[in-house]
Structure formats: C-alpha cells, structure tokens
Structure 1
Amino acid sequence: MKKNLLFLMLLCVPFILLAQQDAWVYLKDKQDVANSVANPTTILTQKAIDRKNRHHIVIDARDVPVNETYISQLKGATGITVMAKSKWFNAVHVRGSEIDINNLLISFSFIDHIEFADKSLNASKKVKQKQQSKFTETLTTFNYGSAGNQIQMIKGDQLHLANYTGTGMTIAVLDGGFKNVNTMLAFQRLRDAGNILGDYDFVNRDDDIYTNATGNHGTWVLSTMAGYLQDQYVGIAPDASYYLFTTEDGPNENPVEESYWVEAAERADSLGVDVINSSLGYTTYDNPNYSYTTADMDGNTAFITKGANIAFEKGMLVVNSAGNSGNDSWQIVGAPADSPNVLTVGAVNASGDYVSTSSVGSAIQPSQKPDVVAQGQASAIITENDVISTSSGTSFSSPIMAGGIVCLWQALPDKTNAEIMQLVRESASQYNTPDYLLGYGIPDLQLALSSALSVDENFRDNSINVFPNPVKDVVYFKLASNEDFVDVNIFNMLGKHLSHAFITPTNNQMDVSSLSSGIYLIKLESVNTSKTIKVIKH
C-alpha cells in the first residue's frame, strides 16, 4: 500500500510542476515612442485623436502598441502560448508551466518582470529574478585571483565589466600538446559551456591532443585565456570558444612544423576562426641546412610567415609571441612574428618593465616589432595537474594579449582585423615613441574601445552629439537645429535603468559623477531621432 501511495505521489509532482499557469509578462520598452506620439495618426484613428483633443487628453506612450517583435519572440518560446496583449500596461498575457514562464526572464532581456495570476507564485518569481541577476553579475565581475595583474595591466578587466568576455568569438590555439585539458577542473567551465569546438593533432594525424606525455605547453597557454577556478584564477577570455590544434613536434625542430602550422591555419579559416594564438616561433633547426638567418626575418621569406600573411588576407588576426632570444646570439623576433600582418607580443614583468629575454625588433623587419607587450615574466598559469603556478616567456604574453583582443573585437564586431590591430597599437603606452624592446608599449584595451566608440557611434550622424567620450563628471548634448528636446535614459550593460533627463538646447548637460567607472548605454529619443550610444565613464 505504501509503495502504491509513493508511486501516486511521484506521479503528482511533475503534474504540479507542468500545470498550466496564466501570467502577465511586463516589457521594458516600446518601439519608436517619441515618433509615434508626435505622429499620432500612425497609432490612432482620427476619430480617437479628435476625441482626445476635445477632452484635453494627452497622447502618450501608453497609446503606442506593444512591440510586435517581442510578441513574436515570446510566441516562439518553449511551452508558451500568448493569449492577449495590452498597450496600456505594455504587457503580454501568457499561458504555460511555471517553469517555462519563469525561464522567459532568463531568455529575453526585454522583459521587465512577470506577475502570475496565482499570486502565491509571485514570491518564487522574485527569487528567480534575483538569482538570475546574481548569475549575470558573476559572468562580468570576476575574482581574478592569481591572474589579476596580467589582465588588469592591459585593462581586460574593464572590458569584462562591460560584459565583453569573449562570447561569440572563436580562437584557434596552435601549440604543443594540451595534456589533461579534457579532464582538468580548470577547464570544466569551458567544457560545460561547449566552448571547446574541436581539436586535432597535425603532427600525429589524430585527435588525441590530451594524453601526449610531453605535451603540456598548450595546456599552460590555454589556461591564461580560458582557465577558471572559482575565486582563484580567471583567464582573460573565459567565454570565448576554442579550437585546439597541435602543430609543434616537441622533441624535434624541423621545417615540417611550419607546414603543420599553415595547415592548421587553413583549417581555422575554414571553421570561421577570428583569432589565432601562436606561442611558437621558428629560426634554426636540428639540421643546420634548414635553418634561417636573421636576414630571412624580413616578413615574407619563411614559409610560416607567408602562411601568416595569407591568414591575415583571409580576415583572421594572428597573435604571435615575439620569442625568447633577447639574451642570445639570435636576439631578434622570429617567424612568423616577423610578418607585418601579425600582432607580435613581447614580454614585460609585473611592473611593466622590459624582460631581457624577450626578442627584439630589427630594421630588417618591414614594420615595428614587437608590436606591443604584455606580462611574460612570472605569468600566472594553471598546470596540467590543476595547480596554479607561474611561468615566464612570450609564450604567455601572447595568449594574454590574444584573449584581450577577442574581448575587444566582441565589442566592435564590425571592425576588420587590421582595424583591431591598429586600435590596440594606438592605445599602447608609447605609441608615439616606439622602440625595439617594447614596440608601441602596453596596450590599454579600454582606451582602444573608447576611441573606437567615440568615432564610430558618437558622431556617425549629426542629429544629436554626445561629448566628451570618455566622460568624467558631466556629459553634454548637442542638438541639431531641428530638435527641440531629447529624452535621455542611461542604462548599464546589463540593461538596468540608472538615470533619466529631459535635454533641451538650453539645458544640455547631465551629471554622471555618481556612476562607477565602466561602459554605459545612453538611449536618446526625440521627434526626429532614436538611437543608443555607448559611453565610457572614467
């Protein structure tokens, strides 16, 4: 009897969870409100307008219809039926299970809140909203632990605060073996997200890149970009996707490794990769007859360098270590880092000072080398045994920079590889006085983003201009001659509304001194214009 009762109870649990509920989904905004209100015949009949005018009833945002795009997306949600809509409340009545309705909060950023018809469910709804908010903050505000200095040095943390963590971007890591990446706790987050998109060992012609007994260099390199140990270590591009390619034959130095590299780059191109990180360089070989001379490091002689040039032509951005020959007889940047189409990364210590082992530039090379530098002495890594440690060399300054670049490119998806490279160079600490040790210096990725936004978004049209950008305390608005007012709303990058102002030609400024440093969205709406601008707050 007890077994039967237990069976019935178990049957009732999914029924209760899947029972159909009614709820109102309240939306955050409407489409083109200012223009609709200014041209009421687009939303109301003339008779309705006449009646409102006759009774001195103001036509306002409540008269504007619900955004049909939002409704279409809600109709496509799993388990949801749209039953009705209200423009006055800017809400949609839906029917579905409690779980499916609450999942709408996670799936759609345009939802403000949800109210269930069964009021006893609304308490649980608020908890779910709060939990989602906390989860989102966790993705963008990290405790970097040991990796903090190397990320903050190039302002990668500022991009993370703006929710640019590499999402949607793809990196191909061309390196030695990736021992234990498939089992390490440090890459559990990466694996769970499905962000290891593929792998291949071009040396052994198989996909066993994880068990090579000597192949741990790729593991260490990958950790600087994608490693994650809660409150202990965060890589600089934790939400990017990765292809892992073994092209380096550890025990041997032979030109065939250049061919493996080019073959991997070709595959990366076919897979739609954005950035290649290569912590590899080729100069001399076991057979001296195969070796290059320093004169060959001219940006177009080595096979691998010519391959890197084609990779650039195909639209990928190759980030490569400068090499570690600064103290030996070779001394200069090797291939493929000698290419003018490769972003070559040298090494500095934790204080930003040149590390003497970092390979230097030369007049032989057709462009400034190295291009930039990042921390390459005592860089924080995670070993193949899940141990946080340090290691030195441009092998680590390169992926740190590559990871920062994919976050920047995520923020500026319309930029070309050449434009991204130039933004990074121009943001660097000694752009106007480069040298052969540090190149253009240490990049400031927040400044690179700010520079791009101020050109591309702030002044793309002349209807409403916002300045300065970046802003410190007060932001000013310049209205075109045909504008009498603009409605201004400021949101953070998570969509939370923070401030509102009504701007006119004579009252044209807004105090933002209370905002924390970061990137914000300023939404501008007037009779003639509706647009959103990203602004950096220092």
Structure 2
Amino acid sequence: MFSNLRLSICILCMAHCCLVFAQQEAWVYLTDKQNVAQSISNPITILTQKAIDRKNAQGIAIDSRDVPVNENYITQLKAQTGIQVMAKSKWFNAVHVRGSEVDINALLALSFVDSIDFANDGLNSRPALVQDNFSIENTLVDFNYGDAQNQVEMLNLDCLHESDYTGEGITIAVLDSGFTNVNTMSSFQRLRDNNDLLDGYDFVDRNADVYNFTGSNHGTKVLSTMAGYIENQYVGTAPDASYYLFRTEDVSSENPVEESYWVEAAERADSLGVDIINTSLGYTVYDNSAYDYSISEMDGNTTYITRGANIAGEKGIIVVVSAGNSGASTWQIVEAPADAPNVLTVGAVDSSGDYASFSSQGSAIQPTQKPDVVAKGSATAVIDENDTIVTNNGTSFSSPIIAGSIACLLQAQPFSTVDEISQAVRMSSSQYEFPDYFLGYGIPDFCNALTLLSVPEIDSQDIRIHPNPVSSTLHLNASEGSPILVSVTDTLGKRVVEDETLYNNQLDVSQLKSGLYFLNIHSSESHKIIKFIKN
C-alpha cells in the first residue's frame, strides 16, 4: 500500500516537472518601431532631460534604440493563445515571452515578428544563463569606528573624500535581488534626509514597492557599501550619491526572464539619466538545464544580459559588475554579464590585498582583460537589514565598493567620458603593467586616478580627433593641405611618438600600449593638447 502511494506521488511529481518545463522562455524580436524619426528629433518625449544632457556631454547620439517598443505589438502578443509577456526591451526591440514551444513558434505568423530566440539552446542553437548567489554567509563583528576603513583606504579613496568628493550629484542605479528595510533603516537615514533615495521598481513582481519584497536582503547589503552611514561607525564609498533601486533577480527560481528584467532596468536607468549601474548578479545555469550556458559562451557578446550591458556602456553609463564567486568551483571563470567588454568587472581580495580564492577568474575566452580590477570582497564590512554591521564574503560587495568610488571620481571629473573614467581606474591600479586573470589590473588607487584625469588638456576649436578611444589610426579634423606637426606623450610625460609631420591628417598609433595619451599639436601660433585613449 505504501509502495503504491509512493509510486503515485513520484508519478505526480514527474508530471508536474514535465508541465513546468513544457513552458519555454523566448525572446521575440520585432520588425520595427513607431515614430522613430519624430522621437529622435524630439528626444524629450522618450528620455529625461538628465539622460539627454548625459549623452550630449559624452557626444553619444540618440538613436532608434532609445525609442520604446511599440505597445500595440505588445498588446497583440498578449492576446495570442498560451503566451505570457514577461518583459520588454527597447534596446533589442524585443519582448520576453513564456509559453509552449508550439505557441511561441506560432508568433512567427505575426507580421511584426522578425525572429524568435529560445532560451533553450536545443530549440534554436542559442545558449542560456543562470544566476549565481554572490554573497557567502556573514559573521557578526564588533560595532566600532572604522569598520569600513580597510575597504576604503585600500583604494586610497579617503583622498577623494577629504577633498569633499563623496558622490554628490552622481546617480547610481543598483540592480539586485531585494532591498529589505532600506526605507526605514537608520543606516540610510542620511540618504533619505538628503532626498538621495530617488525611486525604485520591482521588475519581478511588476510594482513600484521595491521594499515590499522581503525574500532577500542582498541588495540592502550591497547598497550599504556605497550609501550606508552610521556616524563614527560606518561610511560607504559614496554616501552623498543619489540612488535608484531596481529588483531584477527572482531568488525563488532561476529562469532566463531574469536577464530580461535586468535589461529592462538598465533601459530605465538610461532613460532616467543614471551615471553608474552596479549589479552584483551573474548567470551561468538555470533550474531547467536546457537553458544552461557553457563556459565558451562567456565570450563578451553571446548572452542576452551581456549584450544588454554592452549597450548600456555604449549609452554612456559606467556599468560595474561583480566577477562572480566561481573561482574555486569547476566553472571558475567570470559569469555573464561580467564577460562584457563594455563593463568594469570587479574581482575580490582580502584585507591584505591578496586574491580571494572564491573570486571568479578571467580567461582567454573573454575579448578583454577580466577581471578589470579588484577590491575588498573577503570579510567585507556591510550593514544588514537589521542595521547591524556584519562581514560578508563575495564579489557582490567588491563591485559596489568600486562603483561608489567611481561616483566620487566622476564628481571630481564630471566632464570625463565613460572610457576616460574606466581607463583611469585601470591605469591607477597596482599591477597595470602586468595584469593577470586573478586580479586583473589590480587594486585601483583613486587618488592616482584623479591625477590622471586632472592632467590639463588644451583643446582647440578648430581641431578635433576621432575615433576616441582608438585602436589603430587617429584622424584629425583639420583643414586639408596644411601639414601638422604632432607628438604623443604618455601620462608620465614620456614622449612615445616623436615629432611627426602629418600631411593627410592621420596618425598611426597601433604600436602604442592600451592607455591614456596626449596628442600634442604644434604650430607657429600655438601648442594644443588633446587627450585620447588607445584600446
């Protein structure tokens, strides 16, 4: 009797699993958008003024990716049999749907559907991805002054704080899994009193009450490393920055829709004019193994979330991402979106600056150096949802420590571009000349980064250079016919390109190492200096 009952239960469980996994996840790419030309010519209809100003300051064009998805198309998709619309992306002009394979494929009959990309690789040759928990269990520490001292001074960030660069005027979006009690904790009272807790949204539950979800305090602790403030006991790296809080991670399960939530949140951050995104999330495998990614797909341009992170960087946002906690596992390498070339990937070290064994490593699979830099991620001082200072391990915390530090740097150099800021952080780091897959370029020195960015540039009204950053050939927009005498110096003042006369307004810089340089333009009337970055 008991055996029959147990068999029946097993059969029911198997049937339930089959029913659950019969529901597929897919991205439906659409053919076009509405009113593209009109929206681009009148961008205030699709972006905030802050977003427009940020793009203009960095010379970033407003394009069709800024135009929203056609809501009429979404309405029609929702009306299709068996289809549940989960999320949408204006950057990809795509909608994330859930349904059976048959019902999803039937969407191809709609005239506005361009293509369908299943999360299950076996259905269309596409990989999938999974979220890794980036924080490791905490232990209580004594409540005393300086609990955050080591993680701040390791980066020489106190140098910027002493100059009143504390992130004021800079906006950070935190994309995470839960922000329990942020709206009531005394640790964030300063943040609320200064009206720097701007807004939030729960992309998982689709509501504006981002504090209502209590299933995870991860985002609370992540935020504390930047914005936490307890007088004489704890100061985050950017206590005077402003923050948007977006919940994109569903801790109850692992499904590809979470990367779509992330892209939605990044798009909203872009529309709001956010300067920096921090995300302490990473994806490699899912509850349904058919969606799992392979190591070879951490190539900087495969996963949906990685491609979204790359676009965020192109839009002028500094995207800071945790490397992951897979260093001691069989996976070992960075997790999406930390493989993206347009993000600053942050690994972890201990209080002595030594590699933390759990920190995910870079590899030759990534197109750029990963991790980029490291910060304290072992026994990091954070504040939990009970207003208690505790220590946690994980790149979840080294990443926001860097993001907050960058906010201070950006406050000091508000007209620097994403590439200039990111490159200065890399160049200031402890092993910039000899990076590796464990520490990347090393531990940044933010005082030195500020010095690098503060080198005066004497620009010209009649001479501009492009592209910048440059890989091989630098072009000068100057009047044709007049030869130009130029030289190039590095940040130490060493001349790396001797005086060279240009007759075609082009300079070959392919032989230079990656870094920040100064183009010196000489004439009988003046001497002009223009910064450029060599990729």
**TM-score bracket for the superposition, by shorter chain length:** 0.5 to 0.7
Query: Once the 2 structures are TM-superposed, how far is the Cα of residue 144 of structure 1 from its aligned partner?
Result: 6.2
2:377 aligns with 376
Structure 1 segments of 4+ aligned residues over 4 angstroms from their partners: 457-460
1:348 to 2:359 alignment: no
**Contact kept? 2:430, 2:445, Cα under 8 Å:** yes
Where do residues 323-362 of structure 1 align in structure 2 (5 Å cutoff)?
323-362=324-363
Query: Once the 2 structures are TM-superposed, how far is the Cα of residue 458 of structure 1 from its aligned partner?
Result: 12
1:189 aligns with 190
Instruction: Give distance in 2, aligned partners of 1:161 and 1:309.
Output: 34
Residue deviations 1:471-530 (CA, integer Å, cap 9, x gap): xxxxxxxxxxxxxxxxxxxxxxxxxxxxxxxxxxxxxxxxxxxxxxxxxxxxxxxxxxxx
**Count of residues paired in the alignment:** 320
Instruction: Give distance in 2, aligned partners of 1:438 and 1:458.
Output: 35
Query: Once the 2 structures are TM-superposed, how far is the Cα of residue 145 of structure 1 from its aligned partner?
Result: 1.9
Instruction: Give distance in 2, aligned partners of 1:307 and 1:458.
Output: 34
1:367 aligns with 368
Query: Once the 2 structures are TM-superposed, how far is the Cα of residue 454 of structure 1 from its aligned partner?
Result: 2.4
**Contact kept? 1:144, 1:234, Cα under 8 Å:** no
Where do residues 400-411 of structure 1 align in structure 2 (5 Å cutoff)?
400-411=401-412
Runs of 5+ unmatched residues, structure 2? 1-143, 462-490, 493-535
TM-score (norm 2): 0.59
Instruction: Give distance in 2, aligned partners of 1:418 and 1:257.
Output: 28
Q: What amino acid sits opposite 2:448 in the alignment?
A: L
Where do residues 33-182 of structure 1 align in structure 2 (5 Å cutoff)?
145-182=146-183
Q: Secondary structure at the match of 2:455?
A: helix
Cα separation, partners in 2 of 1:409 and 1:396, compared to 1, 3 Å: same
Query: Once the 2 structures are TM-superposed, how far is the Cα of residue 286 of structure 1 from its aligned partner?
Result: 0.7
Cα separation, partners in 2 of 1:357 and 1:422, compared to 1, 3 Å: same
Instruction: Give distance in 2, aligned partners of 1:351 and 1:148.
Output: 13
Instruction: Give distance in 2, aligned partners of 1:182 and 1:456.
Output: 43
**Contact kept? 1:284, 1:290, Cα under 8 Å:** yes
Q: Secondary structure at the match of 2:374?
A: strand
Query: Once the 2 structures are TM-superposed, how far is the Cα of residue 173 of structure 1 from its aligned partner?
Result: 0.1
**Contact kept? 1:247, 1:261, Cα under 8 Å:** yes
**Contact kept? 1:379, 1:390, Cα under 8 Å:** yes
How large is the Cα RMSD of the aligned pairs? 1.8
1:313 aligns with 314
Instruction: Give distance in 2, aligned partners of 1:155 and 1:395.
Output: 20
**Contact kept? 2:420, 2:453, Cα under 8 Å:** no
Query: Once the 2 structures are TM-superposed, how far is the Cα of residue 322 of structure 1 from its aligned partner?
Result: 0.1
1:417 aligns with 418
2:212 aligns with 211
Cα separation, partners in 2 of 1:146 and 1:307, compared to 1, 3 Å: same
Instruction: Give distance in 1, aligned partners of 2:200 and 2:213.
Output: 14
Query: Once the 2 structures are TM-superposed, how far is the Cα of residue 456 of structure 1 from its aligned partner?
Result: 3.5
Q: What amino acid sits opposite 1:446 in the alignment?
A: C
2:261 aligns with 260
**Contact kept? 2:378, 2:392, Cα under 8 Å:** yes
Instruction: Give distance in 1, aligned partners of 2:145 and 2:377.
Output: 17
Q: What amino acid sits opposite 1:287 in the alignment?
A: N
Where do residues 201-280 of structure 1 align in structure 2 (5 Å cutoff)?
201-280=202-281
Instruction: Give distance in 2, aligned partners of 1:283 and 1:144.
Output: 39
Larger RCO, structure (CA 8 Å, separation 6 or more): 2
Q: Secondary structure at the match of 1:333?
A: coil
Instruction: Give distance in 2, aligned partners of 1:146 and 1:411.
Output: 26
2:480 aligns with none
> Which structure would you say has the larger Rg?
1
Q: What amino acid sits opposite 1:165 in the alignment?
A: T
Q: Secondary structure at the match of 1:340?
A: coil
Query: Once the 2 structures are TM-superposed, how far is the Cα of residue 208 of structure 1 from its aligned partner?
Result: 1.9
Query: Once the 2 structures are TM-superposed, how far is the Cα of residue 216 of structure 1 from its aligned partner?
Result: 0.4
TM-score (norm 1): 0.58
Q: What amino acid sits opposite 2:220 in the alignment?
A: T
Q: Secondary structure at the match of 2:237?
A: coil
Q: Secondary structure at the match of 1:399?
A: helix
1:289 to 2:290 alignment: yes
1:399 aligns with 400
Instruction: Give distance in 2, aligned partners of 1:401 and 1:456.
Output: 26
Q: Secondary structure at the match of 1:250?
A: coil
**Contact kept? 2:177, 2:249, Cα under 8 Å:** yes
2:451 aligns with 450
Instruction: Give distance in 1, aligned partners of 2:381 and 2:150.
Output: 9
Q: What amino acid sits opposite 2:415 in the alignment?
A: D
Q: Secondary structure at the match of 1:409?
A: helix
Instruction: Give distance in 2, aligned partners of 1:259 and 1:394.
Output: 22
Q: What amino acid sits opposite 2:206 in the alignment?
A: R
Instruction: Give distance in 1, aligned partners of 2:424 and 2:459.
Output: 17
Instruction: Give distance in 1, aligned partners of 2:258 and 2:401.
Output: 23
Cα separation, partners in 2 of 1:366 and 1:175, compared to 1, 3 Å: same
Q: Secondary structure at the match of 1:456?
A: coil
Query: Once the 2 structures are TM-superposed, how far is the Cα of residue 212 of structure 1 from its aligned partner?
Result: 1.9
Q: Secondary structure at the match of 2:173?
A: strand
Runs of 5+ unmatched residues, structure 1? 1-142, 461-468, 471-538
Instruction: Give distance in 2, aligned partners of 1:448 and 1:144.
Output: 27
Q: Percent identity?
A: 66
Instruction: Give distance in 2, aligned partners of 1:358 and 1:379.
Output: 13
**Contact kept? 1:372, 1:440, Cα under 8 Å:** yes
Instruction: Give distance in 1, aligned partners of 2:453 and 2:247.
Output: 35
